[in-house]
Amino acid sequence: MALIEVSTTINKPAEAIFAHITNPDNLKNQYVVSIEFDGPLKVGTKCKTTVKSTLGAVNVITSEIIAFEQNKIYGTKTFAAPPASDVTSTYILEAAGGGTKVTMQTEAALMPAGMPSMPGMEDMMKKQMLAGYESALAALKKAIEG
């Protein structure tokens, strides 16, 4: 399993950031068409996310909240069909001067059993994931700070 971690500071209080990242409407985009929780957000709550690919294929992704501490931590475990592996994603919020340090952590098997492999592939995948998460944090910062 690889741990991928990126951080940024957002010039807003943790309460505003936590409210944003736990609001299902803020997760929708051109690919995420619906998000349904089976109850109030807390550890153990399950979520079904419906995504549509650029080719029009529709998939439902199932996840569960595994960490939930108001204004501090929000983590989910996404269950993947083989050969992919399950992925754990966590937002950690910490006071940072007048703002909040936001850390995104993801733990995943970059090369799950059964996946074809070649030298350097795991490093390439990690770099792509880091770039994607840095972009996601930049978008979060822009959305929250305005």
The reported pLDDT for the residue numbered 116 is 66
Question: What integer best gives the mean pLDDT of the chain?
Answer: 89
CA dist 55 → 29, 31, 59, 69 (Å) = 16, 11, 12, 38
The architecture (CATH level 2) of 2-145 comes to 2-Layer Sandwich (3.30)
Nearest-angstrom CA–CA distance, 85 and 64: 15
The 10s digit of each residue's pLDDT in 121-131 is: 778 878 888 89
pLDDT score, position 89: 94
- The predicted structure's pLDDT at residue 128: 86
Q: Look at residue 8 in the predicted model and tell me its pLDDT.
A: 96
What burial letters (b/e) apply to 81-96, b meaning 16+ CB within 10 Å?
Answer: eeeebebbbbbbbeee
Question: Per-residue pLDDT for 18 more than 90?
Answer: yes
Question: Can you give the pTM of this predicted structure?
Answer: 0.86
Sorted by where each begins, the domain ranges of the chain are 2-145
Model confidence pLDDT, tens digit, residues 23-38? 999 988 888 999 999 9
**DSSP string of 73-118?**
EEEEEEE--TTS--EEEEEEEEEETTEEEEEEEEEE-SS-TTS---
Is 138 a residue whose pLDDT tops 90?
Answer: yes
Contact 49, 32 (CB under 8 A): yes
